[in-house]
Structures are given as structure tokens and as C-alpha cells.
Amino acid sequence: MKRKLVAAQIGCGKFAWQQDLKNLSSHPDVDLKWVCDVNRTNAEKAAEHFSVPHRTADVLEVIQDPEVDFIKIATSHEAHLPIIEAAAKAGKHIFCEKPMAMTEEEAYRIIRAVRRGGVKLCVDLNRRMAPALQALRRKFLKQEVDPRHNPWRYVETERALLPEEDLPHLLIRIQDESSSYGLGHLDPLTGGGQIIGESVHFLDLACWFFAPLLPREITAWGSSRLSHGIHLRFEGGASMTLDFSCSGTFDFPKELYEVTGKASLFRSLHFVENNYYGMPEDAPEFFPLQRDPYPEMGEGFAAFLSKSRKRLTGSANAKALENTVPLLPDKGHLSMLDAFLRAIREDLPSPCDEIAGFRSTYLARRAIESLELKRTLSVPLEKITPCIQ
């Protein structure tokens, strides 16, 4: 296979500038040949800034280029299906921003399109590839198989554990400002609200974390458009609870992950620091940022808070700093891209394939239904494991 894979960026909005265009244009194994946006001005600006030779407003012009190996889709959600169907038919591999689809039927059609086209699809549900969460899962699985505890900790030994005492639980807390999400995210035709637009990340993460266990029951509350909660129960009883608030503040990091199991606590602080409690191997782990304007200030959560404060001091608008002074923890974007490129080159499974994309969409739609009906809903086995050719 040729040394570099030829790529095309479809959609040149804010997220593409923050991640895709930077990552693709600087990757040693990628030749970014095209940028495409329905607003040609956006494509022109991206092409000039990132030195991309070709730009267009016509996605078919990109897909019909025989040199293009894969496309990266970062359009509004409703445009994913027709682009994926056209790209798969043309034999192009597909790297798609989340959610893969907005509805169950769209997801089914995407599964069929990529399988009939014989191409690889990767959905950028990147949290599963974040180094901090990869490390958290490794530590959790090790403790599940061979539980070890600090001698001073209380662990029940005088009776057998009751069934519910031995079930792991994943807690995800998201606090964000509602201004993170433009009207396009909230429009039911283009974005669908925060459960379908953002919480697919955390539904996918739970499915990956507890794999091969399958989700079997879901309960949701709040608003599908903004703040909400979701409880997802897996076969055997493992569970995830998501608490997603859009009334928080940019003054504090957005994401916290906590797992309890085998009389232990596994905690990840916004992808920069992991803490472990209740076991002998409890040294904290620190993870470098994807982009760090202040590396001299150290590592870990406390350092991240100090860097964030320094970055915001004197600024009238935190969002205006996203591209000028980026302070980004490593949420797995680059690792997902690397794994997808390797899957293409070595004919390996996609790191987040069409079934993973389907499941996150299906669970998000099921959560919205649960919220509207105000009751717990089953996740039937035949629905979560679709049979599509």
C-alpha cells in the first residue's frame, strides 16, 4: 500500500478546525487533498489556512476522486446518511463524527451501505480511546479478575456478598455551560438535542467499558434537548449512570468518571489524572494534554485547573480562546485516527465500527423514549444485535 492515505474533509465548521483539520493536515501518514463544505467560503478559508490543495462545495466531486482513500465527515447530523451511502458505494472508507445517525432506521441503512460497499467505517466516539480511560479500564479489569485490597480497608469477610454488592457501577458526571451548544445542536432536524448529539459518547463508553456484556434496560429523565440523566443496566447487573448538566460553568473541567467494583474506586478527572482507592497499587496516573500552551506548569488535575485559570485571565470570552490558545486534554481523537488508519492499512477491525455507532444511536433514542414515557424500558437482545447484510 502507498505510504500515505489520501483524505478528504467533509464539513469545515468549528469542530473540524479544532480537531479534524489540524489532525489530518499534520499527520505523517495522511495526505489531506480535499476540503468540502456546503458553504464554499468555509472550504476556501480551511484550504488556505491548512494548505489543502483542493476545495469544493460538492461532496460528489470529492467522492468521485479515485485518489481519495477515506473521508472524514463533520457535517450536521442529518447529512451523515446520504454522504455515507454515496461514499460506501464509491468504495471510500469513512471516518464519521458522532452520532453516526439520528434514528434507528438511518443507522440500519448505514450498516447495510458499508457492508455492501466492503469499506471500513469508524465513528468518532473518541472517549473509548482516551489514554486516561483506557488506563482506567485496564486497572478495573485487573481488580475484577484478581481483587487486592489495602490491609486497613474494611472488606466483608464474615458472610458472602449479596448479589447487588458485587456489581460494578460507572458514574459519569458532565457539567457544562449551555452556551457550548448552538441552535444547530438543539434543532430537532439537524442536531436532535443533547442526548442524541452528546450522550451517545457516554452510552458508547459504557458499552465499551463493560464489553462483552450487553445493555438490557434503560431509564432516563430530564430534557432530551439539554440537561438529563440516564441509567443503563447491563446483563448480569453492571450499570452506568450519566448525570449531564448544561447549567454548569467553564470555570471547572467538564468530565468526571468514577467506577466502583470489588471494594475499590477508580476515578478519572477530565482525562488528565486517574486516582485509585482501596487497592495496594493506588499511585495516581497523569496524562499529557493533546494541546498544552503551558507545559512548564506541570501535570495532573490541579495543574490543569491552574492552566485553565491562567488562560482565562483577562479574556472576555472563553470560547474565543478555543482556536487561539487551545487547552485540550487528550480525549482520544488522535488515538482513534491512528487506529482507523491502521485498520485500513492492515485490514483490521475498525476501532469503533458501524455496530458501535448503531448501538449508541439506538440507546440514545431509547433513552429519549424512556424520558418521554417516564418509565424504564427494556433493551431487547434482537434490537441491540441487529442482523443486517
Domains of the chain: 5-125 (3.40.50.720), 127-332+363-373 (3.30.360.10)
The DSSP symbol for 263 reads T
Indicate the helix (H) or strand (E) that contains 94.
strand 93-96
Q: How do the pLDDT tens digits run along the chain, 389 residues long?
A: 568 999 999 999 888 999 999 999 999 999 999 999 999 999 999 999 999 999 999 999 999 999 999 999 999 999 999 999 999 999 999 999 999 999 999 999 999 999 999 999 999 999 999 999 999 999 999 999 999 998 887 777 788 888 888 899 999 999 998 878 877 788 888 888 999 999 999 999 999 999 999 999 999 999 999 999 999 999 999 999 999 999 998 889 999 999 999 999 999 999 999 999 999 988 999 999 999 999 999 999 999 999 999 988 877 666 677 767 789 999 999 999 999 999 999 999 999 999 999 999 999 999 999 999 999 999 999 999 999 88
The DSSP symbol for 18 reads I
| 3-state helix/strand/coil string of 135-150 | HHHHHHHHHHHCCCCC
What is the pTM for the complete model shown? 0.94
Task: Find all residues with CB under 8 Å of 41, minimum gap 6, and list them.
Answer: none
Q: What is the pLDDT of residue 185?
A: 81
Q: What is the pLDDT of residue 1?
A: 53
Residue 117's region, left for phi above 0, alpha for psi from -120 to 50, else beta, is alpha
Q: What is the pLDDT of residue 135?
A: 98
Q: What is the pLDDT of residue 2?
A: 66
What distance in Å separates the CA atoms of residue 244 and residue 174, rounded to the nearest whole number? 5
Three-state DSSP class for residue 271: coil
CB 199, CB 187: distance < 8 Å: no
The CA dihedral of 108, 112, 113, 119, to the nearest 10 degrees, is 120
What distance in Å separates the CA atoms of residue 367 and residue 209, rounded to the nearest whole number? 19
Q: Mark 271-291 as b/e (b = at least 16 C-beta within 10 Å).
A: bbbbbbebbeeeeebebebbe
Distances (CA, A) of 372 to 201, 228, 366: 21, 12, 10
